[in-house]
Amino acid sequence: MVQSHLHLDHAGGLYHFAGTDVPVYVHRRELEHAYLSAKSTAGDDAYLAADFDLDIAWEVVHGDRQLLPGIDLLHLPGHTPGILGAHIHRDAEDLLIAGDQAFLAPNYEAGREMGTSLVHDSRAWERSLRTLRERERRSGATVLYGHDPEQFDRLQGTL
């Protein structure tokens, strides 16, 4: 299982994996930041220790890495320090999972930053956006946003 990041709206179901040997992939910087945020006054308040401070079979990712042939995990810092996206190479059409690096289409398509409450590091967010756009340009991938209900409705049943 790949955990894009550990914000409370993404990590609440991790208890299902507690005590199992199912690997849960998470970026090192995300795990560190989540613990720092949840267990101290540093960091930010979008993390709940109860969501991730569990007996999880963490597989810690450092940078980008190939998960399986045809699936690349991408470190896309900005929204959080350790957010992971993915590039899934498919015969028909590649998928590029931006996730919460781009909440909605305007965040990606028009480069509209999501606001200070949703972006941990603005410069890193811009660099990650360029990384995603370059991958999209090279591969022709469909880019999937993190919280865009219109895109979800439009793509439902087509992927």
Joined together, the tokens standing for residue 135 give 């991958």
The four Cα atoms 77, 81, 87, 88 give a dihedral, to 10 degrees, of -160
CA–CA distance, 108 with 32 (Å, rounded to integer): 27
Joined together, the tokens standing for residue 55 give 């007996």
Contact 5, 100 (CB under 8 A): yes
CA 54 to chain centre: 20
The single-letter code of the amino acid at 43 is G
pLDDT value of position 111:
85
The model's pLDDT over 28-46, given as tens digits with 9 standing for 90+, comes to 999 999 999 999 998 889 9
- CA atoms 60, 64, 70, 71: torsion sign: positive
pLDDT value of position 73:
98
CA–CA distance, 109 with 104 (Å, rounded to integer): 9
77-138-110 Cα angle (round to 5): 55
CA–CA distance, 23 with 17 (Å, rounded to integer): 9
pLDDT value of position 143:
97
- Is 80 exceeded by the pLDDT of residue 70? yes
pLDDT value of position 159:
80
Domains of the chain listed by start with CATH number: 8-155 (3.60.15.10)
16-17-22 Cα angle (round to 5): 145
Contact 85, 99 (CB under 8 A): yes
